[in-house]
Amino acid sequence: MKPPTVTHDLYELDQDWNDEQRAVMLQIRKFVDQEILPTINEEHNNEVLRKDLIPKIGQLGILEMLAEGSLDPVTYGIVCRELERGSSALRSIVSVQGSLVIGCIRDFASAEQKATWLTKLGTMEAIGCFGLTEPDFGSNPAGMITRAEKTSSGFVLNGSKCWITNGTQAHVAIVWAKLDGVVKGFLVPTNTPGFTAQSIKGKWSFRTSDTGMLFLSNVEVPESALMPGAKSLGAAIKTLNNARYGICWGVAGAARGCFEEARQYVIDRVQFDGKPLASHQLIQNKLAWMAAEITNMELMSKRLGELKAAGRVKPYQVSLAKMNNCRKAIEVARVCRELMGANGIHSEYHIGRRMVDLETVLTYEGTEHIHSLIVGENLTGIPAYS
Ligand SMILES: Cc1cc2nc3c(=O)[nH]c(=O)nc-3n(C[C@H](O)[C@H](O)[C@H](O)COP(=O)(O)OP(=O)(O)OC[C@H]3O[C@@H](n4cnc5c(N)ncnc54)[C@H](O)[C@@H]3O)c2cc1C
């Protein structure tokens, strides 16, 4: 029998990385193997967010590089892929802090706001969250109810936000609110009087992630809380597009993790006449299908990274990969679960957790439907949202 190929990486993508990218890949892979995988299933079962991980994520140095603007898109993608091989919830902590908060501040904040927050956010000394979704407005954030009113010294904010990652841990919240009917972005320290956050418990998915409701009741902020560049909903959407790019890579990592676990399982597990499961044609057919899908996901992500690095990436291109990769990652996870039989549903293995976490990733930062409508509008010229 020929020895099996070492990974599913049949197109040798990982061999293309430059020295820095390879070093980052190996650094994050080691972090996931040592710090995440040994305990994450127990934390998932107990619905626990490991707070000691927060400074450790800071020590990785990735967020500092994002705060300085010195991380190229493909390297960031590799980071997301490796983190999400461990856990989608873990990758989300980094995506929210890095793309949604640091990225938004870099793009839209004043020099003073940048000086106050970027360094602390880069080291994770301060945690940030991004409050766009509301209880009644998810896919259509333009309908948001949260309001800002001008006062003599600044603004007063009222409203609520729902499903906010890092919501109860955050020191600063980016709050999107309508001022005179136009969506604006505000930087709100979470210890401001009138600001409260409450954890959402009882999730089937993202059980190791802090997801919160934010309540703003007559929250008074100075004029300097308004991000001068965040002048419309377009600023929030641009920020989301950067985070969605990381998701495209991330879910490929989750699928990789499932694949590696299931492939080893079918090689080791013997049924019928002392033969490994992997010797059956039906099993090999499924492995080949998954290897093709994961390769597709990674190639799409890498191409997006190249377009991003060249300053040419367009929202519908990100939507195409977000839509495709999330759906395909869930399908891969389900096939892996099936290949592992009863063991596939047990928390001794990681597949079940990865599968339910991917349900969140399919929904947040634009659902599969919404991304298909964005692509559809580009293909036809006809918006079909309402
Ligand atoms: C764990 C978790 C973390 C999250 N973190 C954040 C965060 O940090 N910050 C933040 O702001 N938000 C966050 N979200 C919210 C997330 O972005 C929203 O859940 C998402 O945008 C979908 O909104 P909704 O849940 O209200 O679904 P809805 O908008 O009510 O959609 C329900 C269903 O209807 C479909 N649908 C809606 N409109 C259309 C249409 N026009 N055509 C066809 N189908 C349609 C959707 O695709 C979906 O299948 C998080 C969500 C989760 C689950």
Question: Is residue 94 within 8 Å of 83, Cβ to Cβ?
Answer: yes
pLDDT, mean of residues 21-44: 97
Is any ligand 1 atom within 6 A of the Cβ of residue 31? no
Domains 13-123 and 234-380 share a fold: no
Q: Which CATH superfamily is domain 234-380 in?
A: Butyryl-CoA Dehydrogenase, subunit A, domain 3 (1.20.140.10)
Per-residue pLDDT tens digits for 105-157: 999 999 999 999 999 999 999 999 999 999 999 999 999 999 999 999 999 99
| C-beta 211 within 6 A of ligand 1 | yes
3-7, 228-232, 369-373, 382-386: which has the minimum mean pLDDT? Answer: 3-7
Q: What is the pLDDT of residue 86?
A: 97
Q: What string of DSSP letters covers 294-330?
A: HHHHHHHHHHHHHHHHTT---HHHHHHHHHHHHHHHH
Atom of ligand 1 nearest to the CA of 368: 47
- Spelled out in words, what is the top-level CATH class assigned to the domain 128-231? mainly beta
- Local confidence band at 6 (pLDDT 50, 70, 90 cut-offs): low
Give per-residue pLDDT as tens, 342-366: 999 999 999 999 999 999 999 999 9
Backbone angles phi, psi at 135, to 5 degrees: -55, -35
* CB 143 less than 6 A from any atom of ligand 1: no
Nearest CA, atom 31, ligand 1: 139
Q: Per-residue pLDDT tens for 256-312?
A: 999 999 999 999 999 999 999 999 999 999 999 999 999 999 999 999 999 999 999
Torsions phi, psi for 153 (to 5 deg): -110, -5
- Give per-residue pLDDT as tens, 175-204: 999 999 999 999 999 999 999 999 999 999
Superfamily of the domain at 13-123: Acyl-CoA dehydrogenase/oxidase, N-terminal domain (1.10.540.10)
Asked whether the predicted pLDDT for residue 244 surpasses 70, the reply is yes
Residues of the chain with pLDDT > 70, as a percent, come to 98
Exposed / middle / buried, residue 36 (Cβ in 10 Å: 0-12, 13-18, 19+)? buried
Q: Are 275 and 1 a contacting pair, CB within 8 Å? A: no
Is the CB of 363 inside a 6 Å radius of any atom of ligand 1? yes
φ/ψ of residue 163, rounded to 5: 60, 45
Checking if the pLDDT of 374 tops 90, the result is: yes
From CA 244, how far away is CA 367, in angstroms rounded?
Answer: 11
Residue 178 pairs in a beta bridge with 147, 183
Average pLDDT, the chain: 96
Q: Is the CB of 138 under 6 A from ligand 1?
A: yes
pLDDT at 129: 98
pTM score over 0.95:
yes
Residue 365 is among the residues annotated as catalytic for this protein: yes
Domain ranges of the chain: 13-123, 128-231, 234-380
Q: What pLDDT score does 8 carry?
A: 73
| Secondary structure element (H or E) that encloses residue 374, with its range | helix 368-380
Question: Which residue among 101, 130, 139, 161 has the greatest number of ligand 1 atoms within 8 angstroms of its CB, and so is best to mutate?
Answer: 139
pLDDT of residue 4: 60
| Angle at alpha carbon of residue 250, lines to 249 and 252, rounded to 5° | 70
Cα of 364 from ligand 1 centre, angstroms: 5
Under the banding of pLDDT at 50, 70 and 90, the label for residue 3 is low
pLDDT band for position 1 (cuts 50, 70, 90) = low
Instruction: Calculate how far, in angstroms, residue 137's C-alpha sits from the geometric centre of ligand 1.
Output: 8
